[in-house]
Amino acid sequence: MALNLGCTAKPGNARDNKTGSWRVFKPEFIREKCTQCGMCTIVCPEGCISPDEDEFPVPDYDYCKGCGLCAEECPSEAIEMKKEEK
């Protein structure tokens, strides 16, 4: 591989690496139970959860590793981990 001068790289180009392929369990967000408290968004180590147009949290499954931290910490039990169908 050719190295750039000073081994530099463009900000955030780790996006090329779709870590969603690591997933075994998939978080399913249940809107009816969600209070939009934001806890899942805060604790996700990927930073891959963001609000949709109705302010409900949605994970980016291209990057979600399925770690389950969001489901574990959700105070309203509005996230369920389901075995991924591939």
Partner 1 sequence: MTDKPCNLFDVGHRACGGCAAALAAKLILEAAGKNTIVVSATGCMEVFSTPYPETAWGVPWIHSLFENNSAVASGVVASLKKQGRTEKVIALGGDGATVDIGMLCISGAFERGTDFTYICYDNEAYMNTGIQRSGATPYDASTTTSPAGKCSFGNPRPKKDLPAILAAHGAPYVATASVAYPADFKKKVEKAVNIPGPCYIQVHAPCCTGWGFEGEKTIAIGKLAIETGLWVNYEMENGEVTRVKKVRRKPVEDYLTEQKRFRHLFRPKKNDGEIAKIQQIADRNAEKYGTDIVLKK
Residues near partner 1 (CB under 8 A) are 1, 3-4, 7, 9-19, 22, 42-48, 50, 60, 62-63, 65-69, 71-73, 81
Segment holding 72, helix H or strand E: helix 69-73
Minimal distance in Å, beta carbon 38 to ligand SF4? 13
Task: Classify 50 as helix, strand or coil.
Answer: strand
Quick check: helix, strand or coil at residue 24?
coil
Asked if 44 touches ligand SF4 (CB under 6 A), the answer is yes
Tell me the number of residues near ligand SF4 by CB under 6 A: 13
Q: Any idea what the Cα angle at residue 19 is, between residues 45 and 82, rounded to 5°?
A: 80
Is 74 near ligand SF4 (CB under 6 A)?
A: no
Stretch that binds ligand SF4, among 9-17, 31-39, 57-65 (CB under 6 A): 57-65
Query: Is the CB of residue 50 less than 8 Å from the CB of residue 56?
Result: no
Return the number of the residue (67 or 78) whose C-beta is nearest ligand SF4: 67
Is residue 70 within 8 A of residue 43, CB to CB? The reply is yes
